[in-house]
Amino acid sequence: MRFFTFIISTFIFCIIVHAQDSKKISEKYFPDFNIDIPTPAFDKKKGFTNYSEMMLFLNKWCEKYPTKISYQFIGKSQKEKKIPMVFIGDDNLDNLKVCFMGGLHGNEPASTESMLFLIRNLLEVDTLKSISNSLNIAIIPMANIDGYEKQSRYASNGEDLNRDHTKLSNQETIAIKESINKFSPDVMVDFHEYKPYRADFVNFGEYGTTSMYDCMFLYSGNLNVCPTIKTVIEKTFLPPAKLKLDENGLKYHNYLSSKHKNNKIYFNLGSVSPRSSATSFALGNTISMLMEIRGVGLNRNSFKRRVYTTYLLAHSFLKTSIDNSEYIQSILKNCNNFPEKITIKYKREKSNYKLNMIDVYNNDIIDVDIVLNNGLKCENQTTRKRPFYYFIDKDLSVVTDKLKILGLNIDTLKFDELFELESYKIISQKKSSVKFQGFYENIVSTTIVKEQKVLKKGTFVVPMDQRKSNLAVETLEPEMLSGFLRFNVIEPNDIQKIYRYTLNKKL
Ligand SMILES: [Zn+2]
């Protein structure tokens, strides 16, 4: 019966949303900005900037300012379109490095358009020109070109590129990871848009609700991420950004994603999973954020407002980076003092929360009672000693190849050697009941067994005193939710070929 109520109310919701066309709500709460944004999409009445328009735009600025801006192709999309990464600024080694990305989801056009607007302004607007003297900036404006060209979220094979940051099964994700790691940013921001009208919201209000926030901030609460990264985001980066948004009458909140499960709606706050960009880059000891602008499904409604909101955030993050350059560098350096324990399992804090939303029937702002799983307040459930090295059998190069793409340095043993090691013994094992990105996940639990073993010459060695070592933790430990075993990069049997070395003795 509840299921039918859900179906019927979803249907009614769709009719209402369709009938109102969301235009009244846009007019009342999200009026468009009357500003000039000289980028390709605004030269036309319909549609968004396509790939060739973007390339013309970039080439125009490279010709006009050859010493200030350049780009490199970092790889190709599945349909063979070359992906540009734009560089602006002084590559003086002491300057802080900031990397921005747009268009990883192809149906979130404000992200790409705002990156083009930012590029233009950094070169043309007098008050912004000095920014590039103090920072080293890299921008990937259209990360998922094939998706963007048809305004689809997905890559051309139907996969979601922002769920591929550990499995790395798409050439776009590999190109993005390799090029960003090569650039090695201190600050990384991935710009997106979110869907404000969701079937999940149909049970709220009279006939459903829609989100009221122009933008939402996502960052990592993963317990293996260096904790000061979250502090710097909350105390240093977000306050001035919020101030800018306030000045422009824009509303914001921390990012909430809704999940429908067993006839109940849950909201998740914060990012915990390294399969997505926010946590993936944070695990590599980078200040990492993901910005969600209210936009998916709105076509060109309030498009200038959406682009300008994204631009204001990007601009604010650049300014904060300059103002706190030394502080950020020292924080990130201290993150390389790793703790003794790693988190294997965690629990998010669950609480009741009142969320302001717009009622789509009468267009009023109402309080909605929701259940919140707070990923920014996680608690340890299972921990393990952090190893000083992982060893990986030499026939498991599929694993080390992916670790290299994630930015890790890998050594090999120069001769056969006896070690006191920890290996994994699987005590329970099953497949997930539903497919994720086309595959069933391996769900295992293990115990640790100590053993003495001779490892062969050529065995891979992953030193855990390196900057990106937390990515090894999250991919190699067998229980990890986005790990290589879980995501079928390796089979359960292969876990016997990965060892932990926990003695505090340099190799
Ligand atoms: Zn997105």
Q: pLDDT tens for residues 425-462?
A: 999 999 999 999 899 999 999 999 999 999 999 999 99
Going from the Cα of 104 to the center of ligand 1, the distance in angstroms, rounded, reads: 7
Query: Is it the case that residue 16 has pLDDT exceeding 80?
Result: no
Side-by-side strand order, sheet with 442-455: 411-412, 460-463, 389-392, 498-501, 417-431, 442-455
Going from the Cα of 312 to the center of ligand 1, the distance in angstroms, rounded, reads: 18
Going from the Cα of 293 to the center of ligand 1, the distance in angstroms, rounded, reads: 9
Query: Is it the case that residue 252 has pLDDT exceeding 50?
Result: yes
Show the tokens assigned to 13.
Answer: 């919701």
Going from the Cα of 310 to the center of ligand 1, the distance in angstroms, rounded, reads: 13
Going from the Cα of 194 to the center of ligand 1, the distance in angstroms, rounded, reads: 6
Query: Is it the case that residue 1 has pLDDT exceeding 60?
Result: no
Going from the Cα of 406 to the center of ligand 1, the distance in angstroms, rounded, reads: 21
Question: 287-294 and 187-194 as β-strands: parallel, antiparallel, unpaired?
Answer: parallel
Going from the Cα of 160 to the center of ligand 1, the distance in angstroms, rounded, reads: 9
* Three-state DSSP string of 20-71: HCCHHHHHHHCCCCCCCCCCHHHHCCCCCCCHHHHHHHHHHHHHHCCCCEEE
Q: Whole-angstrom Cα distance, residue 180 to residue 85?
A: 9
Contact in structure between 413 and 457 (CB atoms under 8 Å) = yes
Q: Which pLDDT score, from 0 to 100, does residue 19 have?
A: 44
Going from the Cα of 429 to the center of ligand 1, the distance in angstroms, rounded, reads: 32
Going from the Cα of 81 to the center of ligand 1, the distance in angstroms, rounded, reads: 20
Contact in structure between 51 and 154 (CB atoms under 8 Å) = no
Given the structure tokens 């070929």, which residue do they identify?
497
Q: What is the pLDDT of residues 225-243, one digit of tens each?
A: 999 999 999 999 999 999 9
Contact in structure between 193 and 207 (CB atoms under 8 Å) = no
Residue 487 carries which DSSP code? T
Instruction: Compute, in degrees rounded to 10, the torsion defined by CA atoms 209, 260, 280, 282.
Output: 50
Going from the Cα of 326 to the center of ligand 1, the distance in angstroms, rounded, reads: 31
Going from the Cα of 275 to the center of ligand 1, the distance in angstroms, rounded, reads: 13
Q: Which pLDDT score, from 0 to 100, does residue 504 have?
A: 87
Going from the Cα of 206 to the center of ligand 1, the distance in angstroms, rounded, reads: 28
* Mean pLDDT for the stretch of residues 206-213: 93
Query: Is it the case that residue 5 has pLDDT exceeding 70?
Result: no
Q: What is the pLDDT of residues 159-193, one digit of tens each?
A: 999 999 999 999 999 999 999 999 999 999 999 99
Show the tokens assigned to 14.
Answer: 């769709």
Going from the Cα of 296 to the center of ligand 1, the distance in angstroms, rounded, reads: 9
Q: What is the pLDDT of residues 69-114, one digit of tens each?
A: 999 999 999 999 999 999 999 877 789 999 999 999 999 999 999 9
Going from the Cα of 238 to the center of ligand 1, the distance in angstroms, rounded, reads: 20
- Identify the three-state secondary structure at position 97: strand
Residue 143 carries which DSSP code? S
pLDDT band at 20 (very low <50, low <70, confident <90, very high): very low
Burial of 463 (0-12, 13-18, 19+ CB in 10 A): middle
Going from the Cα of 438 to the center of ligand 1, the distance in angstroms, rounded, reads: 19
Q: Whole-angstrom Cα distance, residue 212 to residue 223?
A: 30
| Structural domains of the chain, with CATH | 2-341 (3.40.630.10), 344-381 (no CATH), 387-501 (no CATH)
Show the tokens assigned to 50.
Answer: 């396509």
Residues with CB under 5 A from ligand 1 (ion): 105, 108, 192
Going from the Cα of 105 to the center of ligand 1, the distance in angstroms, rounded, reads: 5
Going from the Cα of 291 to the center of ligand 1, the distance in angstroms, rounded, reads: 9
Going from the Cα of 191 to the center of ligand 1, the distance in angstroms, rounded, reads: 8
More confident residue, 471 or 16: 471
* Mean pLDDT for the stretch of residues 399-412: 98
Q: Which pLDDT score, from 0 to 100, does residue 506 have?
A: 87
Given the structure tokens 């689809």, which residue do they identify?
152
Q: Using alpha carbons, list the distances in angstroms from residue 110 to 26, 37, 117, 214.
A: 16, 12, 10, 12
Q: What is the mean pLDDT of the chain?
A: 94
Q: What is the pLDDT of residues 322-369, one digit of tens each?
A: 999 999 999 999 999 999 999 999 999 999 999 999 999 999 999 999
Given the structure tokens 């290589």, which residue do they identify?
484
Going from the Cα of 193 to the center of ligand 1, the distance in angstroms, rounded, reads: 5
Show the tokens assigned to 229.
Answer: 């990264």
Q: Which pLDDT score, from 0 to 100, does residue 77 have?
A: 98
Going from the Cα of 290 to the center of ligand 1, the distance in angstroms, rounded, reads: 9
Query: Is it the case that residue 264 has pLDDT exceeding 90?
Result: no
Query: Is it the case that residue 276 has pLDDT exceeding 90?
Result: yes
Query: Is it the case that residue 17 has pLDDT exceeding 90?
Result: no
Show the tokens assigned to 205.
Answer: 């209000």
Q: Which pLDDT score, from 0 to 100, does residue 269 have?
A: 95
Q: Which pLDDT score, from 0 to 100, does residue 467 have?
A: 98
* Mean pLDDT for the stretch of residues 7-30: 66
List of residues 6+ apart from 195 with CB closer than 8 A: 296, 297
Going from the Cα of 72 to the center of ligand 1, the distance in angstroms, rounded, reads: 24
Q: Using alpha carbons, list the distances in angstroms from residue 356 to 22, 243, 314, 366, 368.
A: 18, 20, 26, 6, 6
Residue 477 carries which DSSP code? S
Going from the Cα of 40 to the center of ligand 1, the distance in angstroms, rounded, reads: 21
Going from the Cα of 330 to the center of ligand 1, the distance in angstroms, rounded, reads: 31
Element (H, E) at 493: none
